[in-house]
Amino acid sequence: MLSMLLCVLYFGVLLGLSAYGLHRLHLVILCRMHRAKIARAQDVPALSDGDLPRVTVQLPLFNESTVAARLLDAVARMDYPADRLEIQVLDDSTDETQGLVRAHVERLRARGIDAVYLHRTDRVGYKAGALDAGLKVAKGELVAIFDADFIPQPGFVRSIVGHFQDPTIGMVQTRWGHLNRDVSILTQVQALMLDGHHLVENRARFGAGLLFNFSGTGGMWRKDAILEAGGWQHDTLTEDLDLSYRAQLAGYRFVYREDVVSPAELPEDISALRAQQYRWGKGTVQTARKLMATVLGAELSRAQRLEAFFHLTPHFAYPLLVLLSVLLLPALVLFPAADTLTMVAIDLPLCTATTGSLAAFYMLAETAQGRSRWGAIARLPMLIALGTGLAPHLSKAVFEGLRSMSGEFVRTPKQGDNKGRYRVRTDLPLTEAVLAVLSCGAVLASVQTGHYFATPFAVLFAVGYVYVAAMVAREQIARRREATSSAPAVWSDARPSDASVVGAWPRPATKERSLGDLAA
């Protein structure tokens, strides 16, 4: 009975993971089928200066002293009429970023640039709260948003503003570039993962007329689309995904532009990556809790509803992956090694549905940007290992998202020109260490019992858990030592103040303006 239960559970987990794998393969096919429509998105007519709409560029900041000046300089270089472009700095910072950015805004204003510095005395709603407060006083009918680590290119606004001549277009998302792609194997794998999201997922969904999302930065919204969808809400940690679905359910269409690229930083240490992925994972689950029933009951096509289900639930694969890691060792010990024919009939299709779909997915992401598909193949083992190593932490994010809405928005530390200025504090990776030991045992068991199809996966599991556990432990031990020194780093888990007024903006003594000034 125990063996039968283990068998059912083991293959049930494999089938669940295979379903998400086949979904990735489906997205690859959609990209191929709709490549003509995807390419046509670039054929947007250029507008004369007299026809250009007013645009507000919102820059939400929180303790970003290492990158804020770079961002402001990049936005100030945008090729757009000065009388039709507003730069809105939404600063929730609690450190020296306030003074640095305020002074920088003053210098831009002296050059005739319409730059506004707005500082909240609390962080109610975190990024969503700042965007919502700024939107209330934004001059533009269109709103572009950039996170602090981005460097928007001069032609960004002109390249996409023409899409909004169509009143049904609510948002245009552009592709993320990677400033530090080749710093380490960690950044290379992250770049590949994000390229898969942008160059396969976004392109496929856009081309097939399915729902997709604003990525939180590097895109432009129609202000009315935000307002008609209910505005920025902060009851989830992925306010961008939440608003995207509400806006599309309200009837607005989205456009994806792969040819417009905004470079940005990737986290260079594993602790920062885990914090970022945790927030995305928990927020996506929260958004699924909030909107799934509405989406499945909406007047959408069957394909749109099915894709929305997979789009809102991808992080459920991580608990399955952890469960597979736990079950692998007893399964290898208790189940006899199958003959070759059985392995080809059962194991090979499962491997193809998981690993094969990943290979096709990321090869397309590489070739879509003119890179060699073999680069994806070379980095695929480390991508699988890293995904496995992150699985326990992201499984916790899934359960937290199921248990509670909202939560603290822990920003991803930006390095800029001062690496080590901002850090992430996290727990030591005890779960990953235990799973590393189990996976190493599974490697030995797979060889001794003749389960050779399982050996590569057991090796990747072991490598992933060992890598993440070792890197996190090393970083956190080093940072705990730094915390006792005379000049500790600034931790990214700073708590908001106790101010109770949402959107309370202090009146400055200079040209910085408060909400009351702007509303008047």
Alpha-carbon separation of residue 355 from 189, 191, 324, 377 (angstroms): 16, 19, 15, 11
- Written as six digits, the tokens of 367 are 């070739």
Query: What number of helices (H) and strands (E) belong to the chain?
Result: 20, 9
Which residue bears the tokens 């399982």? 454
Note whether 196 and 371 are within 8 A (CB). Answer: no
**Hey, which residues does 221 pair with through a beta bridge?**
143, 171
CA angle 339, 340, 346 (to 5 degrees): 90
Three-state DSSP class for residue 402: helix
DSSP for 417-478, written as a single string: TSTTSEE------HHHHHHHHHHHHHHHHHHHTT-TTTHHHHHHHHHHHHHHHHHHHHHHHH
Q: Residues 133, 134, 137, 142: what is their CA dihedral angle, to the nearest 10 degrees? A: -130
- DSSP reduced 3-state for 231: coil
On the CB side of 468, how many CA atoms lie within 13 Å of its CA? Answer: 32
- Tokens 């290992």 sit at which residue? 385
Q: Which residues contact 235 (CB under 8 A, 6 or more apart)?
A: 242, 286, 290, 405, 406
Q: What's the distance, Cα to Cα, between the start and end of the chain in Å?
A: 74
Q: Annotated active-site positions, please?
A: 92, 240
Q: Chain-centre distance of CA 488, in angstroms? A: 29
Task: Tell me if residue 24 falls in helix, strand or coil.
Answer: helix
Longest dimension (CA), the chain: 80
Determine the residue type at 353. A
Q: Where are the alpha helices (DSSP H) in 297-368?
A: 302-312, 317-334, 340-342, 348-351, 357-367
User: Cα dihedral angle (89, 94, 98, 101), rounded to 10 degrees?
Assistant: -50
DSSP 8-class letter at 84:
G
Q: Tokens 């990747």 map to which residue?
A: 460
Residue type, 253: R
Token pair recorded at residue 442: 């599974």
What are residue 175's DSSP bridge partners? Answer: 261
